[in-house]
């Protein structure tokens, strides 16, 4: 389930634990990052700065596509 976030570039985030996918809505395009461990997803989705957490923990480290 996606939840809205306060961010200048990101509208919402969500994590599907069964599929291990992190969903990030960039305002019209949703990125789906695959094989994200639950502890990393929790760090990102619980961060005060979602954008900084994505940059630090996700981008360039996990395969992704768009839906």
pTM of the predicted structure, to 2 decimals: 0.93
More reliable by pLDDT, 50 or 1: 50
Q: Per-residue b/e over 48-65, b at no fewer than 16 CB within 10 Å?
A: eebbebbeebbeeebebe
Report the pLDDT averaged over residues 5-31: 95
* Pairing of β 30-33 and β 64-66: antiparallel
- Structural domain that includes position 10: 3-66
> Contact 13/44 with Cβ under 8 angstroms?
yes
Q: What rounded mean pLDDT belongs to the chain? A: 95
Report the pLDDT averaged over residues 24-40: 96
Q: Write down the residue that tokens 């990101």 correspond to.
A: 10
Domain count within the chain = 1
Return the pLDDT at 1. 84
Return the pLDDT at 3. 94
Return the pLDDT at 58. 97
């Amino acid at each position: 389930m996606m939840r809205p976030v306060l961010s200048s570039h990101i509208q919402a985030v969500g994590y599907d634990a069964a599929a291990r996918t992190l969903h990030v809505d960039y305002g019209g395009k949703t990125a789906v990052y695959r094989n994200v461990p639950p502890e990393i997803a929790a760090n990102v989705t619980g961060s005060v700065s979602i954008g900084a957490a994505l940059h630090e923990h996700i981008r360039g480290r996990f395969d992704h596509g768009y839906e």
